[in-house]
Structure 1
């Protein structure tokens, strides 16, 4: 039936008058007849029609080209028109309810490392896994940085693991980054992160950022170095997603920045202790960070934004966020790049979860998306129980 309609309609084109009004009417017939067809087929019919006819004023040709321009970016690879409304709805649902509402991610498998020698006490083992980093071109190569257990590497998707830092004087690491430009260059931030357990003797302060130029076989210091006795707390190491020379560290002192792969560093923010940094998915100049006032005066934690690749920072959202928050965890969405999520962990002795906030305009304004009474940061299954939001509050 479709073939018959096509033949009859094409015959109508051939016998129709060539005046402008008739051509516009004929264009309408084409689009209505083939409205459910592959758009590539529609283009062939319309282009064949106009190949021997007037394309001037009043013929409908300009309107057709406008329509063609509008539809073209809304097509799939084969020329089928996409249901953009349905696609946007799915993205909003995923953002609102989490990816688990659309895809089942429950099938997790333990891949290690599990070959560490267990130590004495309740905290023996490799320590808390703080960061995971991936090789940019070898998908089976993964690095993990642990608290008290060193940096580990697998080259077979977790089948076997090798510790890369046995020769270093410190085995606690907050972060690790792999250079996108040269994957043999690794950067690691030493230190336990937020702690007040110096008196136990087993906890050591950060000695700064260390670098390997051979995939972790050996390490050397960089321009950001502290002595162990300084007892510096560190919280985050980030590499700029489009510039592997640009590094950022969050510490007790604030935000440190390097533009030359760690050779030299500048303290670009020093008002408070800095906790973490995330990058805008598409704008290389926009960055977000959170800080924390360790002097215990409200507000405890704040949201920061930079629009010049971390050279300067502005506090945003004062008076909107919970006043007793101890740590703000941040995340962005690559599908909706101007969105920013902020999850708050409370400083008080009550429930640790203090709300999930959303901004749709790079942090300029905020709204609450979840302030449930359930303490999702608690250690118990289902929420509640002992929690440490200043250490464990993470969002991705």
Structure 2
């Protein structure tokens, strides 16, 4: 080895040391930046908690009038802003799906589907999901809790805004909206302070009669909650069931043989930034036989007291005497029993009535694997079999013996567009069963929309809706640059910014990681400033990960 070779080696060693040193400094500054960011977030939340805890004047939600004023200012800015000529361009992604909270189809039109996205618009298809159109883009809110279509006129569609998931990140809506032209245009029909709407039911013969189940404010108490009724198409509203400013109505069921008979599920809850009380003595089932003029609480055999949580209701279409209720029972389990069952509370239970709610009996066994809680609690009955019952929790489960035994529904999953997993996504929010063909199911969960033509044995994941809810995004320094982001239960993704969203071809987007169920929460996602193959990403409950995309 001559001197020149040694000099070159020494030079490269020094250069490598400097690069590593510079990289170390950058990463040190990055870690300091993250720690500082977390400190300020913690300090803000701590201060906010103290403020809300000691000041009743400040602990109020932003009034609806102020929110609507902001919306008017937004519309004005669209016209007057010097950037008004610039147009937004959708770049994706779509394949990963997103949280769907409501599904509706007009009678006799199985290829026409409306889906309400928890944080992303109402979408409509008229060809069974091959293509979609966003039909709620230009309204004062983007968060959907419930959709209903009039049986007497399929052009009349109602949307209840504000998610009924009731998670920390759930957005409040701006009341109820009505369309008389199949979703082409909408009109706000009031109930602005309802914030979160659990159910909308339209009278089967008179579309001017509408019931709205309102949950009220998420973090504060307010009187605009309970069950509301209009008899003039939304011009005027009457509060026909009201328990207290702490109690809303999460679900509603109408007797298919008598539209004057309804069952309402009341839910007492109290969420704060530092606590989440999901049960209370105000929770229970109420029944009316005169269209909401008078109500009776149903207590014979159904649980009551401080530990009753969210309730879901369903009437058997083939036998309206039979009613099912799924309840999140928060009753604590004694310590010794808790050690054996590994549960601290009773959890999800299914109750059944065979006499139109006059008496109830618990029929289910352990449903802990289903995952019934304050976020998930829907129950459905097949139109042709009063003993076939579906329960929506973290998982989807079905019973064929009237609720006595349940088994988890998984089935084979086929994706319309490429996806890394083959499992049915978790967190089930709505299940629509075709009244004409009960084999046909439409399932909405955190992974999007799923279609089954054989009662859940196989599923088609209709993953062509760009509805991912991004918590945070970033970009890299490449040319062309790429976008990175963490989503609500659909992991972390990245993709080229220059692409155009296309409903036919696959995304160029890819998931940085994904769990076996096709999802998982992610948040901040940042690329290494020196090596673009290294990505740092957050997961739920504060986990921070680093991944080399070349080596995996």
What TM-score comes out, normalization by structure 1 length?
A: 0.60
Q: Aligned partners of 1:117, 1:265: CA distance in 2, in Å?
A: 40
The structure where strand makes up a greater share of residues is 2
1:325 offset after TM fit, Å? 2.5
Compare CA radii of gyration and give the structure with the larger one: 1
CA shift at 1:132, angstroms?
1.2
For residues 241 and 284 of structure 2, the distance between their equivalents in structure 1, rounded to whole angstroms, comes to: 13
Indicate the SS of the match to 2:374.
Answer: helix
Give the aligned partner of residue 316 of structure 1: 298
> Which residue of the partner structure matches residue 202 of structure 2?
239
Task: Check conservation: 1:150, 1:166, Cα contact below 8 A.
Answer: yes
For residue 160 of structure 1, what is the aligned residue in structure 2? Answer: 131
Q: How does 1:1-396 map to 2 (within 5 A)?
A: 117-118=92-93, 127-195=98-166, 197=168, 203-222=170-189, 224-226=190-192, 232-251=195-214, 252=216, 253-271=225-243, 272-294=247-269, 298-299=280-281, 301-317=283-299, 320-321=302-303, 323=305, 324-347=307-330, 350=344, 353-370=347-364, 372-378=365-371, 389-396=373-380
Which structure 1 residue ranges, 4+ long, deviate > 4 Å from structure 2? 295-298
Question: 1:127 deviation in Å?
Answer: 3.7
**Which fold has the larger relative contact order, with Cα–Cα distance below 8 Å and residues 6 or more apart in sequence?**
2
5+ residue gaps in structure 1? 1-114, 379-386
Normalised TM-score (structure 2): 0.44
CA distance in 2, matches of 1:136, 1:294: 35
How far residue 126 of structure 1 moved from its aligned partner, in angstroms, is 5.9
**Alpha carbon RMSD of aligned pairs, Å?**
2.6
**Contact 2:300/2:358 (<8 A) preserved:** no
CA distance in 1, matches of 2:175, 2:203: 18
Q: Structure 1 CA distance, aligned partners of 2:152 and 2:301?
A: 41
Post-superposition offset of 1:243 = 2.6
Q: For this pair of structures, how many residues does the alignment match?
A: 260
Q: What secondary structure, in the 3-state scheme, does the structure 1 residue paired with 2:375 have?
A: helix
Distance 2:369 2:294 in 1: 34
Displacement of 1:220: 1.4
2:119/2:171 contact within 8 Å kept: no
- Report the secondary structure of 1:245's partner residue: coil
In structure 2, the gaps of 5 or more residues are: 1-89, 217-224, 271-276, 332-342, 381-552
Question: In 1, distance between residues paired with 2:352 and 2:324?
Answer: 5
